[in-house]
Amino acid sequence: MKYLHTMIRISDLEKSLNFYCKGLGLIETRRMENEQGRFTLIFLAAPGDENAELELTYNWYDDNLGDGSRNFGHLAYRVENIYQTCEKLKDMGYTINRPPRDGHMAFVRSPDNISIEIIQEGNLEIKEPWASMKNEGVW
């Protein structure tokens, strides 16, 4: 058996690619446009880990995702520097719902309300302003 991918539905292609690629640093590995089915599939992966993909499914019609996008749990990515990743996402206008107070774990939400866990590779020293930040919203 081999793990292939996780699929999530998205409502805005541009906003989602901005979040996952520019914000988190994932790369697009392939894309499939289906005229007949009126949808686009975009596969993303972390650089150097292209065998574990995230499939973004974008339906061309009005696809109301509702409030249940969190139901499946969350996606998790390990990063080299959690503070830099969170600062970059924050500078892009995303709310860090659970700041990396411990220097190890944070949560942020995608444009479609998908909860993303960010885990520090190895250990970093606990650092301000992150150590004093409170949770914002749900994660």
Catalytic amino acids? 117
CA distance 57 to 19: 15
Q: 69-93: b or e for each residue (b if 16 or more CB lie within 10 Å)? A: beeeeebebebeebbebbeebeeee
CA atoms within 13 A on the CB side of 43: 12
Structural tokens at position 127: 């650092």
